[in-house]
């Protein structure tokens, strides 16, 4: 039998396991064996569609068990899974399709018309499993001989934006994903008794790889919510042992009077990441629930890098220690020289979790991934005296809103291209719910007949709604320093 590094590691031992892997609040549930069978049918379909080892399967699909099975099917067929945020517009998706050239593209039926005529074979998959994908695989066998794939073979591409405004596809290998999930199962003590309340989207590292891969490995189960919804959270928390979320999950729970100590007294673990959590949230959460949130730090390119300890002190405002097998180095951003503990600098990461490079962008890879294997994260931080890592800022121009990364450059490029605009600056301003939200300062050409409303409506077909500026100010000129660089810190202070 051929080996498929990631699939064997995730589900190799559970192909005929009748225990529940996943259930939805309405009551339906799927066993490990059923999900493996569904992935077998879908893998047969992908092969029938011509998917060969290394070919991409892109999906902009709602969160569903079938979408998880599609991820597994792609891995089994030797393909490369490429999940896309469901909020991306046609214009945004076009870029990914052109760059990644998938063999198969799966999208929601409601949007299928938009993608008529594209190169890839298009199938549809809706939140309720309607659409053409499942019927097309129904009559195919559940048996599928997995394609041979080794640790270094590509398993997924996740796009992450860059400072140039153009997204780059982070290439993740079978072992990047498997080694990190195995480490986390151990570090966070996941067992078959765990029930994870899963309310994250499944088009990012956090919800797709960290959450689901961990559960498959430990043999536990998931309560699968379509999205974060407070009523559903309050209803399902009593049935869960663990939760993974972005800080917004925790601040929203804390603001709800139904979120009380008794509701979660039975729970084992709350994990937070993807965006900075205020120390204040950490403290308040413990006071209300009696649990200390375990904060960890990760990235699309590296999976998880550091984590607060399970048993030791979970330190508010810190992201904990480098995970076993992961090295963290703090360096001088000017010359890459290693800095001493206590000094603030660039966070660099090396380990089996670090990606293979950017898809078809060797020049970008060379800028961020050093020859010795260290990845330059763009995050600034330090080690404290006890070896805990603290993130103290970002060198990359990035807004993190509710755990979504938004690159100002992409938005500035679209605003600057509008008729009547001279230039713009996009920056993050604090927001009590989402951590940060996007704001824009725009300079118009003399006499331009544009206002805020026109600008926002012109941006709508171009940018996913979560990227649209929540605040837009018109200025005569942008503040600049002596070098001519726009001073976003001044804008942030003035309008934040």
Residues that bind ligand MLC (CB under 6 A): 87, 200-201, 204-207, 227-228, 246, 248, 273-274, 298-300, 401-404, 434, 465-466
Q: How many Cα atoms within 13 Å fall on the side-chain side of residue 207?
A: 27
Residue closer to ligand MLC, measured from CB, 207 or 408: 207
Residue closer to ligand MLC, measured from CB, 230 or 448: 230
Q: How many CB atoms lie within 10 A of CB 260?
A: 12
What radius of gyration do the chain's Cα atoms show? 23
Residue closer to ligand AMP, measured from CB, 47 or 63: 63
Q: Which of residues 384-443 bind ligand AMP (CB under 6 A)?
A: 391, 394, 400, 405
- If one asks whether residue 297 binds ligand AMP (CB under 6 A), the answer comes out as yes
Give which of ligand AMP, ligand MLC, none residue 434 binds (C-beta under 5 to 8 Å, depending on kind).
Answer: ligand MLC
Measured distance CA(416)–CA(488) in Å, rounded? 16
Nearest to 300 by CA among 194, 175, 156, 409: 156
Tell how many helices (H) and how many strands (E) occur in the chain. 15, 25
Residue closer to ligand AMP, measured from CB, 32 or 427: 427
Q: Which of 75, 84, 299, 486 lies at the binding interface for ligand AMP (CB under 6 A)?
A: 299
Alpha-helix residue ranges (DSSP H) falling in 332-374: 362-368
Residue closer to ligand AMP, measured from CB, 146 or 160: 160
Measured distance CA(346)–CA(382) in Å, rounded? 8
What are the Cα distances from residue 481, in Å, to 159, 393, 412? Answer: 33, 20, 19
Q: Which of 9, 169, 207, 276 lies at the binding interface for ligand AMP (CB under 6 A)?
A: 276
Residue closer to ligand MLC, measured from CB, 206 or 382: 206
- If one asks whether residue 318 binds ligand AMP (CB under 6 A), the answer comes out as no
Q: Provide the 8-state DSSP code for 369.
A: B
- If one asks whether residue 163 binds ligand AMP (CB under 6 A), the answer comes out as no
Q: Provide the 8-state DSSP code for 191.
A: -
Q: Provide the 8-state DSSP code for 163.
A: T
Residue closer to ligand MLC, measured from CB, 31 or 242: 242
Residue closer to ligand MLC, measured from CB, 248 or 289: 248
- If one asks whether residue 109 binds ligand AMP (CB under 6 A), the answer comes out as no
Q: How far is the CB of 200 from ligand MLC (least distance, A)?
A: 4
Residue with tokens 């002596």: 482
- If one asks whether residue 344 binds ligand AMP (CB under 6 A), the answer comes out as no
- If one asks whether residue 295 binds ligand AMP (CB under 6 A), the answer comes out as yes
Q: Provide the 8-state DSSP code for 238.
A: G
Measured distance CA(468)–CA(411) in Å, rounded? 8
Q: How far is the CB of 241 from ligand AMP (least distance, A)?
A: 22
- If one asks whether residue 236 binds ligand AMP (CB under 6 A), the answer comes out as no
Q: Which of 160, 173, 180, 401 lies at the binding interface for ligand AMP (CB under 6 A)?
A: 160
Question: Does residue 381 contact residue 347 with C-beta atoms inside 8 Å?
Answer: yes
Size of the site for ligand AMP (CB under 6 A): 18
Q: Which of 379, 397, 414, 436 lies at the binding interface for ligand AMP (CB under 6 A)?
A: 379
- If one asks whether residue 319 binds ligand AMP (CB under 6 A), the answer comes out as yes
Burial (Cβ within 10 Å: 0-12, 13-18, ≥19) of residue 441: buried
Give which of ligand AMP, ligand MLC, none residue 248 binds (C-beta under 5 to 8 Å, depending on kind).
Answer: ligand MLC
3-state secondary structure of 324: coil
Q: How far is the CB of 201 from ligand AMP (least distance, A)?
A: 11
Give which of ligand AMP, ligand MLC, none residue 394 binds (C-beta under 5 to 8 Å, depending on kind).
Answer: ligand AMP
Backbone angles phi, psi at 454, to 5 degrees: -60, -45
Q: How far is the CB of 471 from ligand MLC (least distance, A)?
A: 12
DSSP string, 312-350: S---TT--BEEPTT-EEEEE-TTT--B--TT--EEEEEE
Q: How many CB atoms lie within 10 A of CB 279?
A: 13
Q: Which residue of the chain is nearest ligand MLC when measured via CB?
A: 402
- Encoding tokens for residue 280? 């204040």
Q: How far is the CB of 350 from ligand MLC (least distance, A)?
A: 17
How does strand 221-224 pair with strand 20-23?
A: parallel
Nearest to 106 by CA among 45, 147, 174, 38: 45
Binding site for ligand AMP (CB under 6 A): 160, 205, 273-276, 295, 297-300, 319, 377, 379, 391, 394, 400, 405
């Amino acid at each position: 039998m051929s080996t498929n590094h990631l699939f064997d590691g995730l589900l190799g031992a559970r192909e005929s396991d009748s225990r529940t892997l996943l259930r939805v609040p309405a009551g339906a549930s799927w066993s490990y064996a059923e999900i493996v069978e569904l992935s077998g049918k879908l893998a047969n379909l992908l092969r029938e569609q011509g998917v060969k080892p290394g070919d991409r399967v892109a999906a902009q699909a709602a969160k569903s068990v079938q979408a998880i099975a599609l991820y597994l099917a792609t891995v089994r067929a030797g393909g490369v899974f490429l999940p896309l945020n469901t909020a991306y517009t046609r214009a945004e998706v076009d870029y990914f399709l052109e760059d990644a050239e998938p063999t198969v593209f799966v999208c929601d039926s409601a949007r299928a018309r938009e993608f008529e005529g594209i190169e890839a074979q298009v199938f549809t998959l809706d939140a309720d499993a309607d659409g053409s994908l499942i019927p097309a695989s129904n009559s195919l066998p559940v048996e599928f001989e997995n394609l041979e794939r080794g640790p270094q073979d590509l398993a997924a591409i996740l796009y992450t934006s860059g400072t140039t405004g153009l997204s780059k596809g982070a290439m993740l290998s079978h072992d990047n994903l498997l080694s990190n999930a195995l480490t986390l199962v151990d570090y966070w003590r996941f067992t078959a008794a765990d029930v994870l309340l899963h309310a994250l989207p499944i088009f990012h590292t956090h919800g797709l790889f960290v959450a689901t891969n961990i559960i498959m490995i430990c043999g536990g189960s998931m309560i699968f919510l379509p999205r974060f919804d407070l009523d559903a959270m309050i209803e399902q928390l009593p049935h869960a042992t663990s939760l993974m979320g972005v800080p917004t999950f925790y601040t929203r729970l804390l603001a709800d009077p139904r979120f009380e100590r008794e509701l979660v007294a039975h729970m084992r673990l709350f994990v937070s990441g993807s965006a900075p959590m205020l120390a204040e949230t950490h403290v308040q959460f413990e006071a209300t629930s009696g649990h200390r949130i375990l904060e960890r730090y990760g990235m699309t390119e590296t999976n998880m890098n550091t984590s607060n300890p399970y048993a030791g002190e979970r330190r508010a405002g810190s992201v904990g220690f480098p995970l076993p097998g992961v090295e963290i180095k703090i360096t001088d951003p000017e010359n890459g020289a290693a800095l001493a503990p206590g000094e603030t600098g660039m966070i660099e990461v090396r380990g089996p979790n670090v990606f293979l490079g950017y898809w078809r962008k060797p020049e970008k890879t060379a800028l961020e991934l050093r020859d010795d294997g260290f990845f330059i994260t763009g995050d600034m931080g330090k080690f404290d005296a006890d070896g805990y890592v603290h993130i103290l800022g970002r060198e990359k121009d990035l807004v993190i809103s509710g755990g979504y990364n938004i690159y100002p450059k992409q938005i500035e490029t679209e605003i600057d291209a509008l008729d009547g605009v001279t230039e713009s600056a996009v920056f993050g301003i604090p927001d009590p719910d989402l951590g940060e939200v996007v704001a824009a300062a725009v300079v118009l050409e003399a006499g331009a007949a544009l206002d805020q409303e026109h600008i926002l409506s012109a941006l709508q077909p171009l940018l996913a709604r979560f990227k649209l500026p929540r605040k837009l100010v018109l200025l005569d000129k942008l503040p600049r320093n002596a070098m001519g660089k726009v001073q976003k810190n001044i804008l942030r202070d003035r309008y934040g």
